[in-house]
A and B are shown apart, each in its own frame.
Chain A
Amino acid sequence: MIAPNKDYARPSTFDVRVQRQDAPGKPTRWERFRIPYEPNLNVISVLQKIARMAKTAAGEKTSPVAWDCNCLEEVCGACTMVINGRVRQSCSALVDKLLEETPGEIELRPMAKFPVLRDLVVDRDRMFRALERVQAWVPVDDYLDRGAGPKESQDSQESRYPLSECMTCGCCLDACPQYTKIELERKPGETDDSYAARKTAAYDTGFLGAQAISQAILFNDHGTGKMLADKRLDSLMGPGGVAACGNAQNCVAVCPKDIPLTKSIARAGRQVTVYSIKKLFDR
């Protein structure tokens, strides 16, 4: 580990370089903003300052940078972006630490594996669609009164809980070499519904990625959830399933919640192997 640079003097201002894009399919450009330094800033408060001034470092008027956020405490996953080359949440990215990494300047880019809607806002629908692909839910009969769910050991809860903390932020996918961007251009005159249907079809051919694989394992571990285990394994065996993982292990390195993603992937691989042998004999 590199020791933090304690001697580094606090600047009076620092620059933020933002990769901007007006809309899908439009060219990207860099814009530089100058921010007065204050202690304890995070990237969100920097973006709030940029929105308030709407002026570049050169003093030119510009539109405010668009970005996504909601909870500001790293539990909703919305504000994910690439900060100084590393994908992470902008709420928990503290300016003092970033300036220690690269004095004087912070660089913000949108996530690389998702279609840019504008500036730092990306479309992560594919992640939610992936949850549907692996049927990431417990198939209860109804919401009527039927007593408690299955009893669970402390060990089981303690292994399910971390997986269930996944906030669908997409860091693991952005860092994954096998997860490639799927971006469809909207055809002229295309309705919302048919565009959405075309996107879904395209997403379903792509790699599921660590996020959805780990969720499949989460539900296969639950007493009632495992009643759909075979169906989930069918999805994991199909194209874009667990076999597409190249074992780069980037996912687990960038996960802000320290979810044991590679362990989930390994477990998914084993479950798929056992399931395919079983299927072979059951034929």
Chain B
Amino acid sequence: MAQKRVLVVGGGLAGLACTMKLAENGVSVDLVSLVPVKRSHSACAQGGINSVNDLTRQQGDDEWLHLDDTVYGGDFLQHQPPVKEMAYAAPKIIELMDRLGVPFNRTQEGFRDQRRFGGTLFKRTSFAGATTGQQLLYALDEQVRRHKAAGLVTMHEGWDFLGPIVDDEGRCRGAVAQNLVTMQIRSFKADAVVVASGGCGLIYGRSTMSMACNGSAASRCIRAGARYANPEFIQVHPTAIPGADKLRLMSESARGEGGRVWVPRKPHDPRAPREIPEGERYYFLEERYPEYGNLVPRDIATREIFDVCVNGGLSVEADKQCVYLDLTHIPREELDRKLGGILNIYEKFQGDNPRDVPMKIFPAVHYIMGGLWADYARSREGGLEAENPRNQQTDIPGLYAMGECDYHYHGANRLGANSLLSCIFTGLFAAPGIEKLIGSLQASSTDAKFDSLHAGAVAAKQAEHDALLKQAGDGDENPYEIHHLLGEEMTKAATVVRRNDQIEAALTKVGELCERAQRCSLSDTGAWTNQNVVFTKALRDMFPIAKAILRGALQRDECRGAHFKPDFTMPGLSSDDPTERRRQAEKWCDAFQAKNEKWLKTTIATFDDAGEPSITYEEVDTSLIPPRPRLYGLVGAEMIEEVWKERQAAKDAAAKREPALA
């Protein structure tokens, strides 16, 4: 029988981790990537990677608490078994990365140093300067290069994945891809295909994401029948540097190392920031959230910054929305050692030195919590079953989704420094299941009986490509212009604050843009390194996901994590009278319970042939940690928490009694 092969699409952390694990076990891998893998978007991750560690353990931390922080931060929208498995694997993953030579920052004694990140009270985050993602990416890239040198991995860098090849029985047998230089379209025969293509920030025009993050690979899986989950959950990072071409990330680690967010109390105060005395500064995060301060979870920090600027009118500048992120009180030497990388980015692109002058920042689209629907196999202990081929498998048997492009792990809001972890974890953990799957297959994708399937798939993609080139003269639309307009619509309607009338208007406009995108005129009709045609294809494929984001957001009439609708908030308690306050808290908890019964569900987008999504809902597995209200900063939080705990205790007691009765 022919040797089985796996095709991995995407060479960021998830794709590389999966590749190296497969190769370690002797599986041959073809790796297709838009860019040389060392230039993948994972390189942009700055702050660090989370895990419980020896120090936090002594402060009472354990894996269970990492799980708890992650699902609480994610507003309980994630299935808990995959998160549990990830939290328990995390310490081992950090140690493996350490073995691979990642230059993690060290303590005086030579141990790995850790910093604190948002949404937790423990210092769980290991880091390598302020370029942790780059360092992890390089470590995995080096391992994959080692397997390439040994002949197990074949690299296809500079190829665009055009879609999976699915046989009559619905099983994935490989994929079609196009070379970005020669424009050749060919098929890759594979017994399993792993899509690890990252997020789709380009749908928003400008975001903190790289130019390869256009979501086209996920969209092409949708076209082949895969479903997409939790599309409306988009993380807007609180601190980015506004730019004409990109909104560059300013890592959460700037706050983790003591950075303070403030605005002048006097709107648009013309004085230089350092001349404004302490008393005239409004440290709004510290005032509103005394416990977490500047390190509240990202969705909350983002909304507060947005609120202070848009509703409070306190933006630092009159014609541009921004607030100060201030590091100037921290010694330069410490800043250079711990944050040098990101501070240099600010200096290079803005021309000001953040060691001397507070940075001006504003929120930007940053991470896609939703993604391709993927399966998992729950173990008896509530984690995942190792080596089960169902883990990370999409609706199409043999087609897997990993990393940012799947929907697990982060729920309604991702905690900082959990994404590098989830990417590496999925790649490493799912690889043995894939190996098992391909071992169990009767037929091999290289069997002659699949030749015509592959040839047909290539011919279909070639025809689409040729038609697009030929259409050049007939069309009157500019793809770059349409992309710009799409980004504006999406940013307006589906980021920090969402209103149903705005989303409905955006749905109409995005629908129009989608039709216009079909009439794109190409300014380049050449058959060599034609970036124009590649971009136009990616643009067209943005629409199904863009529509799913809007539809999901429109239908979800509640607030959860990053999804915030002011018309559906649950205000805190207003009464000062203890009895009345108690009554209000009871009512609040009733409302919360009802809200969860209705909305604590995974959003599932299914697409018709035209790429139009329809939305249904699926239950969430919250069997490990019962959902509880997320009360950061809410008035009356203590009282609500008290009532909620009593109710939970009663429920737990009832659950204990029941088996005894039976």
Residues of A at the B interface (CB closer than 8 Å) are 22-23, 38, 40-42, 44-45, 48, 51-52, 54, 61-64, 66, 68-78, 91-92, 94, 117-119, 121, 124, 128, 131-132, 135-140, 142-143, 145-149, 151-154, 156-158, 160-161, 164-165, 167-168, 219, 222, 224-225
Those of B301-349 within 8 Å (CB) of chain A: 337, 341, 345, 348-349
What residues of chain A lie closer than 8 Å to B244, measured between beta carbons? 38, 40-42, 45
Question: Do B345 and A73 touch across chains, with their CB atoms under 8 A apart?
Answer: yes
Those of B557-597 within 8 Å (CB) of chain A: none
Question: Do B110 and A153 touch across chains, with their CB atoms under 8 A apart?
Answer: yes
Pick from B21, B35, B345, B478: contact of A78, CB below 8 A: B35
Say whether, besides A118-B529, A161-B129, A131 and B145 are in contact (CB < 8 Å): yes
Pick from B44, B146, B148: contact of A71, CB below 8 A: B44
B6 at the interface (CB under 8 A from A): no
Question: Do B528 and A23 touch across chains, with their CB atoms under 8 A apart?
Answer: yes
Say whether, besides A70-B210, A73-B349, A76-B43, A128 and B145 are in contact (CB < 8 Å): yes
B107 at the interface (CB under 8 A from A): yes
Closest to A163 in B: B103
What residues of chain A lie closer than 8 Å to B101, measured between beta carbons? 137-138, 149, 219, 222, 224-225
Say whether, besides A132-B149, A157-B103, A64 and B524 are in contact (CB < 8 Å): yes
Min C-beta distance of B530 to chain A, whole Å: 8
Closest to B186 in A: A192
B108 at the interface (CB under 8 A from A): yes
Question: Do A63 and B523 touch across chains, with their CB atoms under 8 A apart?
Answer: yes
User: A51–B533 Cα gap in the complex (Å)?
Assistant: 12
User: A135–B129 Cα gap in the complex (Å)?
Assistant: 25
What residues of chain B lie closer than 8 Å to A157, measured between beta carbons? 103-106
Question: Do A145 and B95 touch across chains, with their CB atoms under 8 A apart?
Answer: yes
What residues of chain A lie closer than 8 Å to B43, measured between beta carbons? 71, 75-76, 167
Say whether, besides A117-B529, A132-B149, A154 and B523 are in contact (CB < 8 Å): no
Min C-beta distance of B329 to chain A, whole Å: 23
Question: Do B248 and A117 touch across chains, with their CB atoms under 8 A apart?
Answer: no
Closest to B206 in A: A72
Those of B188-217 within 8 Å (CB) of chain A: 210-212
What residues of chain B lie closer than 8 Å to A158, measured between beta carbons? 337
B515 at the interface (CB under 8 A from A): no
Binary per-residue interface labels of chain B (590-615) against chain A in the complex, 1 for a CB within 8 Å, 0 otherwise:
00000000000000000000000000
User: A275–B107 Cα gap in the complex (Å)?
Assistant: 33
Question: Do B110 and A137 touch across chains, with their CB atoms under 8 A apart?
Answer: no
Min C-beta distance of B542 to chain A, whole Å: 17
* 27 pairs, CB–CB < 8 Å, chain A vs chain B: A22-B526, A40-B244, A45-B244, A51-B532, A54-B524, A63-B523, A70-B210, A73-B44, A75-B341, A91-B246, A117-B529, A118-B528, A128-B145, A131-B145, A136-B142, A136-B145, A138-B100, A140-B99, A143-B428, A145-B95, A151-B110, A152-B110, A160-B103, A165-B134, A167-B39, A167-B43, A167-B134
Those of B287-301 within 8 Å (CB) of chain A: none
What residues of chain B lie closer than 8 Å to A51, measured between beta carbons? 480, 523, 531-532
Question: Do B38 and A167 touch across chains, with their CB atoms under 8 A apart?
Answer: yes
User: A177–B347 Cα gap in the complex (Å)?
Assistant: 31
Given contacts A68-B35, A71-B39, A132-B148, 20 further A-B contacts (CB under 8 A): A23-B529, A44-B246, A45-B244, A45-B245, A51-B480, A54-B524, A64-B524, A69-B211, A70-B40, A72-B248, A73-B248, A73-B249, A77-B39, A78-B36, A136-B145, A137-B143, A148-B112, A149-B98, A165-B134, A224-B99
What residues of chain A lie closer than 8 Å to B135, measured between beta carbons? 161, 164
Question: Do B348 and A74 touch across chains, with their CB atoms under 8 A apart?
Answer: yes
Most buried by A among B36, B103, B142: B103
Question: Do A48 and B245 touch across chains, with their CB atoms under 8 A apart?
Answer: yes
Question: Do B146 and A139 touch across chains, with their CB atoms under 8 A apart?
Answer: yes
Question: Do A165 and B210 touch across chains, with their CB atoms under 8 A apart?
Answer: no
Those of B1-58 within 8 Å (CB) of chain A: 20-21, 24, 35-36, 38-41, 43-44
Number of interface residues of B (CB under 8 A): 67
Question: Do A143 and B145 touch across chains, with their CB atoms under 8 A apart?
Answer: no
Closest to A186 in B: B182
Min C-beta distance of A242 to chain B, whole Å: 21
Say whether, besides A143-B24, A151-B111, A63 and B149 are in contact (CB < 8 Å): no
User: A62–B110 Cα gap in the complex (Å)?
Assistant: 58
What residues of chain A lie closer than 8 Å to B111, measured between beta carbons? 151
Min C-beta distance of A146 to chain B, whole Å: 7
Question: Do A154 and B106 touch across chains, with their CB atoms under 8 A apart?
Answer: yes
Closest to A128 in B: B36
Question: Do A132 and B145 touch across chains, with their CB atoms under 8 A apart?
Answer: yes
Question: Do B107 and A154 touch across chains, with their CB atoms under 8 A apart?
Answer: yes
Most buried by B among A69, A71, A146: A71
What residues of chain B lie closer than 8 Å to A62, measured between beta carbons? 523
Those of B88-123 within 8 Å (CB) of chain A: 92, 95-96, 98-101, 103-108, 110-112
Question: Do A70 and B103 touch across chains, with their CB atoms under 8 A apart?
Answer: no
Min C-beta distance of A265 to chain B, whole Å: 20
What residues of chain B lie closer than 8 Å to A153, measured between beta carbons? 106, 110
Question: Do A61 and B145 touch across chains, with their CB atoms under 8 A apart?
Answer: no
Closest to A151 in B: B110
Question: Do A64 and B531 touch across chains, with their CB atoms under 8 A apart?
Answer: yes
Closest to B39 in A: A76
Question: Do B243 and A40 touch across chains, with their CB atoms under 8 A apart?
Answer: yes
User: A168–B146 Cα gap in the complex (Å)?
Assistant: 17
What residues of chain B lie closer than 8 Å to A118, measured between beta carbons? 181, 528-529
Question: Do A138 and B142 touch across chains, with their CB atoms under 8 A apart?
Answer: yes
Pick from A73, A117, A152: contact of B246, CB below 8 A: A73
Say whether, besides A42-B244, A128-B38, A157-B105, A143 and B348 are in contact (CB < 8 Å): no
User: A48–B244 Cα gap in the complex (Å)?
Assistant: 10
Min C-beta distance of A84 to chain B, whole Å: 17
